[in-house]
Amino acid sequence: MAEGQFPHLFSPLQIGGVTLKNRIFSSGHDTVMAEDGLVTDRLIAYHEARAAGGAGLVVVQVAGVHESARYTYHVLMATDDDCIPGYRRLADALHRHGCAVFGQLFHPGREIMESQDGSAPVALAPSAVPTERFHVMPRALPTDILREIVAGYGAGARRLRDAGLDGVEIVASHGYLPAQFLNPRVNRREDEYGGSDENLLRFLRESIAAVRATVGRDFVLGLRISGDERSHDGLTAEEATAACAALDADGVLDYVSVVAGSSATLAGSMHIVPPMSEPAAYTVPLAARIKGVVRSPVLVAGRMNQPQEAERAIAEQKADACAMTRALICDPQLPAKAESGRAEEIRACIACNQACIGHFHAGYPISCIQHPETGREQRYGTLAPAALPRDVMVVGGGPGGLKAAAVAAARGHRVTVYEAAPRVGGQVLLAERLPGRAEFGGAITNLVAEAERAGARILTGARVDRAFADAEQPDVIVIATGARSRRPDLDLVGSPAVLDAWQVISGEDVPAGDVVVADWRCDWIGLGVARLLAEAGHRVTLAVDGYMPGQRVQQYVRDVMLAAARRAGVTVIPTVRVYGADAESVYLQDTLTNEAVVVGNVAALVLAQGHEPVDDLVRDLEGYPGEVHAIGDCLAPRTVEEAVLEGLQVAAEI
């Protein structure tokens, strides 16, 4: 057993003929970095950063095993020998760091998210049973195509083995094709692939056999499965556990990798990448249940963002290895830090889902709001020390300023952060007070620690104006002064109380009675404030200038927030702008028809109308003899993601 703080986590694990050097792995995740279905240099650089940081295993994202498996326009494919050179370069790069590499063999069945050219393809599933989330009515798989797909698993496995990977897993998780076959509510076939338990298992057994027929017994073969699909008609824990027991008993699988959720429903899909509303390590009991019925090693994924949780799961023999997938997206050095006694230096993932799965769903390469170097390894993976260390004044201790300070100081500059408020953090200090969003504050804890470790000085209650800058004469000034609430011009005639969202979150009194929250940005703020007020006993109308509250928030996060607001009794009016109020009514205007919508008997109007830049210093410093840069919201109000990215970009250049 290894010494150190995490002896179980840093002990080797044997999976088939492969020995993992530790129990931390990056589970398969689509990166939107493949091009034309092939591995790219960008994808290799991304994974190599995790391997260099000490991960024991990288499972590369899903690769389609049949032409009908293209569930997005950017999916990786394993249907042609053309895929081999890219996979080989990837495997070689990871092996150089002692990191094992598996691939995912994939068919989505009816779970088609996007098309290739805008026209909907024919989705294939065991039966013509529609998927609720993507509104797809599939075609029942004809037996000849079913056989092609089964053969595709075998051919894909052969290609990945030829490329030098250490293993493959069949993705039977998240309601994808193999799981559709296992589920009697989705699989209504009357042939040998539907009906009895044996028939429900037949597709998977044949696919496993096809893999074994091409790669033999020695190549690692695993199965990824949702231990509970958490959907009204999804695979239950009983069904998933029974399927694992039966397949494991066949003696041809080398491991089982357990997750939760299903792509098919809104309630199920949030478990694919669980947001901060789910407790850390919450899927470990599902893994433990399956571990109780199989002999193969059991891997688990689900909100493990610190090594302590993974260590516990393994020490308690509830799992044999732990995916720390977003944890590694956020901090590729996590294993190295944990192993060398620097666990407190880990930049913990806060499960905000903004730049990882949020980018994926929007069709962009994944990154991390706390670590925008992710996905940009080729540019920012290694930053050269500053050629000439300079005095850098960072004005504003929000996320953008702190990131600029951390990176500039790490490159050798002499950095001081001046924050006018008594505490650093900027708007994050408010954002973390929205219901269910406390973990968001971790972004500031992490950034402060990084900036201080890098040697930056952080001063609070320290306001900077032109005279101060002229007196200090720093070589470089980075202005990161953020934004304030925006109050649009409204027709107010003896109106109800008018507050902005940040005042409500800060605890200012809201008069008893009905409240209208007028939400222009359709992000976390309007939705969170509406819930906060409803839970405090107000009758709340959330009037959104968009199709729905949270329209701009990553789907899994939004769905949790929508459900909470609904449970709290919030009423929603979509597609309305606010234009005025009188003594007890709020006047809205339908953005589609321009007709008036009046909400009466209102005690308070709460404005969530976005922000405007605090940019006075940008103007005041015109003509300053040194270098001046403005980043984040003081340029144009956006989110933490852009502020941190711009902090990195500026600090990498100065």
Ligand X SMILES: Cc1cc2nc3c(=O)[nH]c(=O)nc-3n(C[C@H](O)[C@H](O)[C@H](O)COP(=O)(O)O)c2cc1C
Q: So which residues are the catalytic ones? A: 176
Verify binding: residue 150, ligand X, rule CB under 6 A: no
From ligand SF4, ligand X, none, interface partner of 141 (C-beta below 5 to 8 A by class): none
Burial environment of residue 209 by CB neighbours within 10 A (0 to 12, 13 to 18, 19 or more)? middle
Sites for ligand SF4 among residues 569-628 (CB under 6 A): none
Which CB, 133 or 303, lies closer to ligand SF4?
Answer: 303
Copy the structure tokens of residue 639.
């989110």
From ligand SF4, ligand X, none, interface partner of 29 (C-beta below 5 to 8 A by class): ligand X
From ligand X, ligand SF4, none, interface partner of 330 (C-beta below 5 to 8 A by class): ligand SF4
Sites for ligand X among residues 413-442 (CB under 6 A): none
Which CB, 102 or 360, lies closer to ligand SF4?
Answer: 360
Query: Position of tokens 């606010």?
Result: 578
Query: Position of tokens 């694992």?
Result: 244
Copy the structure tokens of residue 186.
């989705």
Sites for ligand SF4 among residues 323-362 (CB under 6 A): 326, 329-330, 349-356
Q: How far is CA 68 from CA 36, 73, 262, 603, in A?
A: 15, 12, 19, 56
Please state the closest distance from residue 43 (CB atom) to ligand X, in A. 12
Please state the closest distance from residue 265 (CB atom) to ligand SF4, in A. 22
Which CB, 319 or 368, lies closer to ligand SF4?
Answer: 368
Q: Which of 93, 304, 469, 532 binds ligand X (CB under 6 A)?
A: 304
Tell me which residue of 592, 638, 590 sits closest to 611, measured CA to CA: 638
From ligand SF4, ligand X, none, interface partner of 28 (C-beta below 5 to 8 A by class): ligand X
Report d(CA 171, CA 180) in Å as an integer: 11
Maximum Cα interatomic distance, the chain, rounded to a whole number of Å: 84
Cβ–Cβ < 8 Å for 275, 351: yes
Report d(CA 525, CA 408) in Å as an integer: 31
Verify binding: residue 30, ligand X, rule CB under 6 A: yes
Please state the closest distance from residue 362 (CB atom) to ligand SF4, in A. 13
From ligand SF4, ligand X, none, interface partner of 576 (C-beta below 5 to 8 A by class): none
Which CB, 561 or 576, lies closer to ligand SF4?
Answer: 561
Which CB, 436 or 455, lies closer to ligand X?
Answer: 436
From ligand X, ligand SF4, none, interface partner of 259 (C-beta below 5 to 8 A by class): ligand X
Q: Which of 173, 370, 374, 639 binds ligand X (CB under 6 A)?
A: 173
How many Å from the N-terminal Cα to the C-terminal Cα in the chain? Answer: 46
Report d(CA 100, CA 254) in Å as an integer: 15
From ligand X, ligand SF4, none, interface partner of 319 (C-beta below 5 to 8 A by class): none
Find residue 578's DSSP bridge partners: 588
Sites for ligand X among residues 241-270 (CB under 6 A): 259
Question: How far, in whole angstroms, is CA 364 from its chain's centroid?
Answer: 13
> CA 225, 350, 112, 78: dihedral to nearest 10 degrees?
-70
Tell me which residue of 7, 98, 100, 102 sits closest to 61, measured CA to CA: 102
Please state the closest distance from residue 329 (CB atom) to ligand X, in A. 7
Copy the structure tokens of residue 644.
């941190």
Q: Which of 15, 93, 171, 338 binds ligand X (CB under 6 A)?
A: 171
Tell me which residue of 495, 535, 537, 480 sits closest to 513, measured CA to CA: 537
Task: Count residues near ligand SF4 (CB under 6 A).
Answer: 14
Sites for ligand X among residues 103-132 (CB under 6 A): 104
The alpha-carbon radius of gyration of the chain (Å, integer) is 26
From ligand SF4, ligand X, none, interface partner of 360 (C-beta below 5 to 8 A by class): ligand X
Exposure b/e, 10-33, CB count within 10 A at least 16 = b:
beebebbebebbbbbbbbbbbbbb
Tell me the three-class secondary structure of 331-377, residue by residue.
CCCHHHHHHCCCHHHCCCCCCCCCCCHHHHHHCCCCCCCCCCCCCCH
Tell me which residue of 90, 84, 89, 65 sits closest to 75, measured CA to CA: 65
Find residue 597's DSSP bridge partners: 588
Q: Which of 303, 347, 371, 577 binds ligand X (CB under 6 A)?
A: 303
Q: Which of 66, 326, 376, 403 binds ligand X (CB under 6 A)?
A: 326
Enter the DSSP assignment of 449. H
Verify binding: residue 357, ligand X, rule CB under 6 A: yes
Verify binding: residue 649, ligand SF4, rule CB under 6 A: no
- Total Cβ atoms within 10 A of residue 433: 18
Please state the closest distance from residue 70 (CB atom) to ligand X, in A. 13
Report d(CA 473, CA 67) in Å as an integer: 62
Please state the closest distance from residue 78 (CB atom) to ligand SF4, in A. 26
Sites for ligand X among residues 38-97 (CB under 6 A): 61-62
From ligand X, ligand SF4, none, interface partner of 224 (C-beta below 5 to 8 A by class): ligand X
Q: Which of 155, 369, 501, 614 binds ligand SF4 (CB under 6 A)?
A: 369
Please state the closest distance from residue 351 (CB atom) to ligand X, in A. 7
Who contacts 211 (Cβ-Cβ below 8 Å, separation ≥6)? Answer: 105, 153, 154, 157, 168, 170, 221
Verify binding: residue 224, ligand X, rule CB under 6 A: yes
Verify binding: residue 645, ligand SF4, rule CB under 6 A: no
Report d(CA 34, CA 86) in Å as an integer: 10
Q: Which stretch binds ligand X (CB under 6 A): 80-88, 158-166, 241-249, 300-308?
A: 300-308
From ligand SF4, ligand X, none, interface partner of 369 (C-beta below 5 to 8 A by class): ligand SF4
Which CB, 149 or 640, lies closer to ligand SF4?
Answer: 640
Tell me the three-class secondary structure of 540-560, residue by residue.
EEEEECCCCCCCCCCHHHHHH
Report d(CA 632, CA 646) in Å as an integer: 6
Verify binding: residue 325, ligand X, rule CB under 6 A: yes
Which CB, 79 or 370, lies closer to ligand SF4?
Answer: 370
Q: Which of 49, 323, 404, 599 binds ligand X (CB under 6 A)?
A: 323
Tell me which residue of 431, 472, 419, 449 sits closest to 614, measured CA to CA: 419
Report d(CA 212, CA 219) in Å as an integer: 8
From ligand SF4, ligand X, none, interface partner of 301 (C-beta below 5 to 8 A by class): ligand X
Which positions lie near ligand SF4, rule CB under 6 A?
326, 329-330, 349-356, 368-370
Which positions lie near ligand X, rule CB under 6 A?
27-30, 61-62, 104, 171, 173, 224, 259, 272-273, 301-304, 323-327, 356-357, 360, 366
